[in-house]
Structure 1
Amino acid sequence: MTSQEIFAEIQRKQSFLCVGLDPVWEKLPRHLHREEDPVYVFNRIIIDHTIDQAVAYKPNLAFYEAMGPGGLETLQKTLDYLPNNVFTIADAKRGDIGNTSGLYARAFFQQMNFDAVTVAPYMGRDSVTPFLEFEGKWVILLALTSNEGSQDFQMLTDEHHHALFERVLEKSKNWGSSENIMFVVGATQVSHLQSVRKIVPDHFLLVPGVGAQGGSLEEVARAGMNKRCGLLVNSSRGIIYASGAEDFGLAAKKEAQQLQISMEKLLNTYC
């Protein structure tokens, strides 16, 4: 998908919601345990109930890899179930030497047919560029994350008082363009979003941390939205675990609808 196609979907749904498909066996509604593939059924019901509000879905690979080979089969079935007009993100946080990165890229883009994959930039340009060689696919680079440990390295400053995350943005934006690179910026880092936008005004940002992690959707939109929205705001636990009972699909839909209503107002205000 191109950035214009993503924006067109945002306009059509009046939403910039990304739903994280991060299933945990212990949190699945008990009535699903009798299904042949409970996680797939769970994902399918979540998708059915949120597809009118979500423009993107983001499975975190760890939740599927932890289930062994069958987990990857479940993930592929989930991807195959998703319609073509939604943006799919492999939250894999890969990053390795060039040859290995090339194989990761082939796995996610050719074999599994994801639209995008999250990549760690720590090893530099040659570990990222293999992902950028696939036309129509996206790299989503970790820039400023929401976790507590982000302070350990990302906020370190040089002699010019530039934080490391700023140097990452400055350097990496030239490896590709706003048509194949996005950046992860956590919602709990909203005080730095204006700095991010000064460096990458036209790139899409994937923003986790709204809801369960305490990030403010309104503050994220105010500081981070550009003329084509430029945001994909992710919610995982707040939607998919809105209920642990048989009504979990309807509960997920209600949460997604509430977010969509807020997003529509923000789009009309800032975009």
Structure 2
Amino acid sequence: MTRSELFAQIQQKSSFLCVGLDPDLNKIPSHLLKEKDPVFSFCKQIIEETADFAVAYKPNIAFFEALGARGWETLAKVEELIPKDIFTIADAKRGDIGNTSKLYAKAFFESMDFDSITVAPYMGEDSVTPFLEFENKWVILLALTSNKGSLDFQLIQDQNGKALYQSVLEKSQAWGTPDNLMYVVGATRGELIGKVRKAAPEHFFLVPGVGAQGGSLSEVAKYGMNSSCGLLVNSSRGIIYASNGKDFGKAARKEAEKLQLEMKDLLDKYL
């Protein structure tokens, strides 16, 4: 998917909502466990109920690969189920030496046809650029994440006072462009989102941490939105686990619509 196609979806739906698909067998409604493929049944209903409000879906690959070969088959079915005009993110956090990264890219971009993949930057340029060689596909590079452990490394400063995440932003922009490179920027780091936007003014950000993790959607928009929105705000648990009963799909739809209405107001305010 191209940048213009993604922005068109945002404008059409008045939304920059990404729904995270984290199908945990210990959390999905118990009545689904009787199904032949409980994870697929769960994801199918979530997608069908939230597609009116979402511009992206982000399957977390760990929840599928933990199920072995059957999980990979389920992932492929889920990816095929997502409407083609909705952006797809393989949340796989890959990143390895060149040849290995190229094969990871082929797996997710060719075999499964995802639009994007999350990538860890720690091994540097030659671990990232193989993912950027695929036309109309995206790398979403970890920059400033929302987890507690991000403080262990990402905010460490060099002798000039530059934090590690700032070096990641600076160096990586030479590898890709705003048309194929996004950044993960956590919503729980609200006070720093403005700094990240200043360093990467044109790039899209994938923003986790709104909802269950306590991030503020209004702060994210205030500090992170640019002229083409530039944001995909992810909500996983707050939507997909809004109910553990037979009404889970309707409950997910209600939560997705609530976020979309907030996003519409923010788009009207800042664009």
TM-score normalized by structure 1? 0.99
Instruction: Show the counterpart of 1:243.
Output: 243
Q: For residues 159 and 193 of structure 2, what CA distance do their matches in structure 1 show?
A: 22
2:34 paired with 1:22: no
Instruction: Show the counterpart of 1:100.
Output: 100
Q: For residues 30 and 164 of structure 1, what CA distance do their matches in structure 2 show?
A: 43
Instruction: Show the counterpart of 1:225.
Output: 225
Percentage of identical aligned residues: 65
Instruction: Show the counterpart of 1:181.
Output: 181
Q: C-alpha displacement at 1:193, in angstroms?
A: 0.8
2:47 paired with 1:78: no
Instruction: Show the counterpart of 1:47.
Output: 47
* Matches for 1:1-271 after TM superposition, within 5 Å: 1-271=1-271
Unpaired segments ≥5 residues, structure 2: none
Q: C-alpha displacement at 1:148, in angstroms?
A: 0.7
Q: For residues 221 and 97 of structure 1, what CA distance do their matches in structure 2 show?
A: 35
Q: C-alpha displacement at 1:114, in angstroms?
A: 0.3
Q: C-alpha displacement at 1:265, in angstroms?
A: 0.1
Q: For residues 266 and 230 of structure 1, what CA distance do their matches in structure 2 show?
A: 13
Which secondary structure state, in structure 2, belongs to the residue aligned with residue 79 of structure 1? helix
One-letter identity of the residue aligned with 1:105: A
Q: For residues 188 and 82 of structure 1, what CA distance do their matches in structure 2 show?
A: 28
Which secondary structure state, in structure 2, belongs to the residue aligned with residue 106 of structure 1? helix
Q: C-alpha displacement at 1:161, in angstroms?
A: 1.0
Q: C-alpha displacement at 1:160, in angstroms?
A: 1.5
Which secondary structure state, in structure 2, belongs to the residue aligned with residue 176 of structure 1? coil
Q: For residues 251 and 239 of structure 1, what CA distance do their matches in structure 2 show?
A: 8
Q: Give the superposed CA RMSD.
A: 0.5
What per-residue deviation string (whole Å, max 9, x for no partner) do you get for residues 172-202 of structure 1?
A: 0110100000000000011111111111100
Q: C-alpha displacement at 1:53, in angstroms?
A: 0.2
Which secondary structure state, in structure 1, belongs to the residue aligned with residue 139 of structure 2? strand
Q: Which consecutive aligned stretches of 4+ in structure 1 deviate over 4 angstroms post-superposition?
A: none
Which secondary structure state, in structure 2, belongs to the residue aligned with residue 149 of structure 1? helix
Which secondary structure state, in structure 2, belongs to the residue aligned with residue 19 of structure 1? strand
What per-residue deviation string (whole Å, max 9, x for no partner) do you get for residues 120-141 of structure 1?
A: 0000000000000000100000
Q: C-alpha displacement at 1:31, in angstroms?
A: 1.4
Q: For residues 47 and 75 of structure 1, what CA distance do their matches in structure 2 show?
A: 13
Q: For residues 44 and 218 of structure 1, what CA distance do their matches in structure 2 show?
A: 30
Q: For residues 26 and 193 of structure 1, what CA distance do their matches in structure 2 show?
A: 34
Q: For residues 138 and 191 of structure 1, what CA distance do their matches in structure 2 show?
A: 26
Q: C-alpha displacement at 1:44, in angstroms?
A: 0.5
TM-score normalized by structure 2? 0.99
Q: C-alpha displacement at 1:209, in angstroms?
A: 0.3
Q: For residues 40 and 71 of structure 1, what CA distance do their matches in structure 2 show?
A: 9
Unpaired segments ≥5 residues, structure 1: none
Which secondary structure state, in structure 1, belongs to the residue aligned with residue 26 of structure 2? helix
Q: For residues 157 and 164 of structure 2, what CA distance do their matches in structure 1 show?
A: 6
